[in-house]
Chains A and B, each alone.
Chain A
Amino acid sequence: MKNNSHLSIRRLVFVLIILQVGFLLLVGKLFNVQLSNDAIHQGPSGHPWGSTRTAAVKRGKILDRHGNVFALSRHSLSVYADPTYMKVDPSAAAQRLAPVLGVPESELLTKLRRKDKRFVWLKKDIDYGLLDEIRAIEKDIRGIKHEVEQQRTYPKGKLAAQVIGHINDQNMGEGIEYQYNNYLLNARERQAARRAEAARNEPINLLTKGDSTDDYGYSVVLTLDEYIQYIAEKELAAACQKWKAPRGTAIVLASKTAEILALASYPTYDLNHYTLGSEQAKRNLGVWFAYEPGSIFKIIASSAVLNEGIMSPESTVFCENGRYRLPNGRIIRDVSGKGWLTLEEVLHKSSNIGMIKIVKELGHENLSTYIEKYGFGKATGVDLPYEHKGSLYAVKHWDTHSLGSVPFGQGIMVTPLQMVSALNVIANDGKLLRPHITREIRDSNGKVIEKKYAIDVRQVIRPRVAKQMAEILVGVVEDGSGRRARVEGYRVAGKTGTAQKAEKDGKGYAGKEIMSFMGFLPAENPMVSIIVMLDEPKGARFSGQIAGPLFQQIAAQTMQYLKQTEFFGPELQKPPDFSSVVTKQSPTLKGEGL
């Protein structure tokens, strides 16, 4: 040890002890964080993940186009105590707390005297405005603590439940709450969500501009109109109950702007009791339910053949007197057999054989092109999650069978929204617009962050052909299969559809039907395009009897409302001006701080 005599062993041991004590401190701290205070941390908020949700920040609101609140977050305080940790005399503490919490002193006293417990709620769900007072008390009295809780409430309850949707702690959910989660979250959570989404490698629609610095989320202003939504839901539910249909949907679209004014699904549920709702009720059938459309699909081929100039409305086809054998042996029947019919009459009478003949003239390649041009087989791009894009298998693989079924809407799958947006092409001078359900995003001060407009997808048919088609469809309602859908005072252009429902195993059709009707009005200057659909109604054979009256109910009340409120401006002939509507009807939008 000669060379090493200068090494001070004592100091070395001192360093060793210091370092080891340091590590033991870490172990103590780990124990403290990971094990000891579970009760306090997890007591109020349950899972530790939940605790981040209870931070003092608000999720944005969801409003309809007039500023009526569909969803909002409310803050509340809950005060709890750790009696064993308290140094102050319980009676003094109770005296101080009683007036603030509004709890009798004696009740507080018994709670604070419980030395066997380390956690007692003193008062739950008190006004958030008392935060400062409670903070002051916490400073003075050790062992008193509060928890800020955030509650999402849905003042309208069941109204538009499937549109508004729901979101859970893992940021998974449905409806607008899910679709616009990144906007509704506050700035800090938005960033966290952005990272989470990026980690999942999913391309998403994220907010990259105008991050607001405050802790409040953005508000989403929908295109929905509370009243029209209410009409649609009320009438849909009544019809479904009357005809014992397990599910149904109704969509009201503003024709010129493709704004969704109402999107109703039946059955429905109460958003405030999300967990009690059945899974069936939570599906937004308008965008999620893919079905074989049936006769309402006939407008596609008819408008195509007109647009190609192959036929005119007066051109005739031979309808085989109601019985037509396809080359593969399958027999197509019409309800009422006719001989020669004009194209117009084929639609009025909804003749399947006539449609097959028309498609023969058109050529199936042309039909495929038009089906895709109308937007089928692709998601419409509406800003709602889980949109079904339908299925065009038969159109991609033409054969004798599909040639004998696609023209009148069998063998392909579409969603009600796709269908109504295709109808809107005719209402809108041949232009396909992308439907949307959000008007704008606003920050917590009511400033508009982002505005949504109708997106012009493509010109599908020529305006003149659209007018011709509209006139033909008016004929359907005036003296064709859709007579029950007539609305007093307006010319309605519409089309019925009764689709046989394929069995789940894919082997044919077994008597179940989907009845639908879609139309727009007024025919000469369309304001709204509406589709109604009932799945498996019982007691009637034709959709004219079921869907027609439902359409009539919704359309009549909607038109009355639109007229009374001068929804599209004072004069019907003027193109609708939406910008003035919101400011005029909802002065609350600005001041309240959405």
Chain B
Amino acid sequence: MGRNYQNSTRSNKNRKSKPKSGFKWTNTRVYSVVEEQQKQIEAPPPPRSGRMDRGLIALTLCLIAIGILMVYSASHLLSSRHYGGYSYRYLQIHIIACGIGLVGMFFSSHLPYRFYAKFANLFLILSFIGLLLVFVPGLGTSVQGAEGGRFKRWINIGLPINFQPVEFAKIALVIHVANFISRNPERVKSFFNGVLPNILIVGAAFGLVYIQPDFGSAALLVVTVCTVLFVGGMRIWHVVALGGVGSGLVSLLIIRDSYKLKRLMDYLAMLKSPDATNYQLTRSLDALESGGLLGLGIDSSLQKISRLPYPHTDFIFAVLGEEFGFIGAVTVTFIFMLFVWRGLHIARHASDLFASLLAVGITTLIGLQAFINIGVVTGLLPTKGITLPFISYGGSSIVLSLVSVGILLNISRSNIQNTDE
């Protein structure tokens, strides 16, 4: 922070010399500029004087635009079926969510990121309360799953947009871990003082999400936090040991749960012969395959009509692949690659450790989510209920993704590289 202060004052001094050179030809303008400069000097210097990362903004807006297009294309049949011939219901909700998200992004990009460090513990407590509220009858909305299981993932807040607490918990945990490490960076090198407390908290969150049940999100949570710990300086052999124990526990959970075991077996069977029994995946691969190189064109997906499950949420990428072909699918994948690159670039040049780790966490969260979703749709990974960030329909997911992009943007404003310019 101190460095920031110096930077900004220096740059102010530099700028002060400019009016002198311009004095000769425009008097009035010069005076106004000088007045402004004086005001700025009197006030405490703004700590974040750098520009936001425009590349990140552009990529995000691109994804949002693609998302709105695809949500309409994938959901209008569904909407007209659910709402008596009215095709725009899901699109409307999606656009409202995008609007709320963009406003949220604007605010969070102007809110100094130190704020999150200050309230890290509060966020953590709130997110745990949220995860518990899902199980309160009347508040938690349970949704019938494809294979007949019931999923309690949403909180009914009386709006068309249901709130999914796990989305909030992901960010809260990342904030917490980043804050924990940045307060005392040496601590994370010790297992009992540094790693274990975080693992316990993440483990608790994992458990709550797991019994919703939402194995995909739970796993995403753990992997993201471990990535933050890893970048934050955790010892390598701790990483290896934890990875071993973690995968052991996960395989135990899978073997105990017939539903997950079936998915995994389906997946393994599918690796052997692609025309195996997994209905969702077969439909999704059918969609991608019929897309070919250039796709069938917008709104001409055949699979979305009836065969593809969740065409506007989990499997929206399959609709995209069918309508825009290999070109479209790869373009979106590249946008996510660029997004990850920008995010980690911001993390690399952040002005302090907390900001760096926060940026790593958020980028990993979004990047991994995109990777898992596309991986599921293309059959690279076993089926999980994870949405495609910025593109899938889903209120709380899109709002919180955009808010976290806002946090990244705020971090990018104070980037060392920017302020040095």
Is B380 in contact with A34, judged by CB distance below 8 angstroms? Answer: no
- Supposing A4-B351, A26-B371 touch, asked if A15 and B364 sit within 8 A by C-beta, the answer is yes
Instruction: Choose, from A191-199, A326-334, A577-585, A586-594, the stretch at the interface.
Output: A191-199
Is B348 in contact with A33, judged by CB distance below 8 angstroms? Answer: no
Is A20 in contact with B292, judged by CB distance below 8 angstroms? Answer: no
Is A29 in contact with B379, judged by CB distance below 8 angstroms? Answer: yes
- Cβ-based interface call for A7 (8 A): yes
- Supposing A4-B351, A19-B371, A192-B307 touch, asked if A198 and B290 sit within 8 A by C-beta, the answer is no
The answer for the CA separation of A7 and B185 in the assembled complex, in Å, is: 9
Would you list which residues of chain A between 171 and 203 have a CB under 8 Å from chain B? 188, 192-193, 195-196, 198-199, 201
- Cβ-based interface call for A6 (8 A): yes
Closest Cβ of chain A: how far from B131's Cβ, in Å?
A: 26
Is B351 in contact with A35, judged by CB distance below 8 angstroms? Answer: no
**Complex interface: chain B residues within 8 A of A511 (CB):** none
- Cβ-based interface call for B375 (8 A): yes
- Cβ-based interface call for A575 (8 A): no
Most buried by B among A7, A22, A49: A7
Most buried by B among A24, A26, A47: A26
The answer for the CA separation of A420 and B245 in the assembled complex, in Å, is: 79
A/B pair count, beta carbons within 8 Å: 143
The answer for the CA separation of A6 and B275 in the assembled complex, in Å, is: 50
Closest Cβ of chain B: how far from A53's Cβ, in Å?
A: 12
Is A27 in contact with B85, judged by CB distance below 8 angstroms? Answer: no
Closest Cβ of chain A: how far from B338's Cβ, in Å?
A: 10
**Complex interface: chain B residues within 8 A of A35 (CB):** 292-293, 326
- Cβ-based interface call for A12 (8 A): yes
- Cβ-based interface call for B230 (8 A): yes
**Complex interface: chain A residues within 8 A of B378 (CB):** 26, 29-30, 33
Is B227 in contact with A15, judged by CB distance below 8 angstroms? Answer: yes
Closest Cβ of chain B: how far from A485's Cβ, in Å?
A: 51
Is B337 in contact with A23, judged by CB distance below 8 angstroms? Answer: yes
Which residue of the partner chain, among B285, B353, B357, B370, contacts A33 with CB atoms under 8 Å?
B285
Would you list which residues of chain A between 31 and 73 have a CB under 8 Å from chain B? 31, 33-35, 38, 41, 47-49, 51-52
Most buried by B among A27, A29, A34, A193: A34
Is B289 in contact with A41, judged by CB distance below 8 angstroms? Answer: yes
**Complex interface: chain A residues within 8 A of B77 (CB):** 199
Q: Is the interface of A mostly helix, strand, loop or mixed?
A: helix
Closest partner residue, chain B, to A170 (CB atom): B302
Which residue of the partner chain, among A3, A16, A34, contacts B329 with CB atoms under 8 Å?
A34
Interface size class on chain B is 35 or more
Would you list which residues of chain B between 217 and 236 have a CB under 8 Å from chain A? 227, 230-233
- Cβ-based interface call for B336 (8 A): yes
The answer for the CA separation of A23 and B370 in the assembled complex, in Å, is: 9
The answer for the CA separation of A324 and B321 in the assembled complex, in Å, is: 74
- Supposing A8-B231, A51-B286 touch, asked if A30 and B356 sit within 8 A by C-beta, the answer is no
Is B326 in contact with A19, judged by CB distance below 8 angstroms? Answer: no
The answer for the CA separation of A198 and B82 in the assembled complex, in Å, is: 9
**Complex interface: chain B residues within 8 A of A1 (CB):** 416
- Cβ-based interface call for B407 (8 A): no
- Cβ-based interface call for B347 (8 A): yes
Would you list which residues of chain B between 269 and 312 have a CB under 8 Å from chain A? 275, 279, 285-286, 288-293, 302, 305-307
- Cβ-based interface call for A25 (8 A): yes
Would you list which residues of chain A between 46 and 102 have a CB under 8 Å from chain B? 47-49, 51-52
Given A26-B333, A33-B289, A199-B306, 7 extra CB contacts under 8 A: A3-B1, A7-B231, A26-B378, A30-B288, A34-B325, A199-B78, A201-B81
Sort A-B residue pairs by CB-CB distance and give the 9 closest, nearest first: A196-B306, A6-B185, A195-B306, A3-B352, A34-B326, A29-B378, A48-B290, A23-B337, A16-B344
A-B contact pairs, 26 of them (CB 8 A): A3-B353, A4-B353, A7-B353, A8-B231, A12-B348, A15-B227, A16-B340, A16-B341, A19-B337, A19-B344, A19-B368, A20-B337, A20-B341, A23-B340, A23-B371, A26-B378, A30-B321, A30-B326, A30-B330, A34-B291, A48-B286, A51-B286, A52-B286, A193-B306, A199-B77, A199-B80
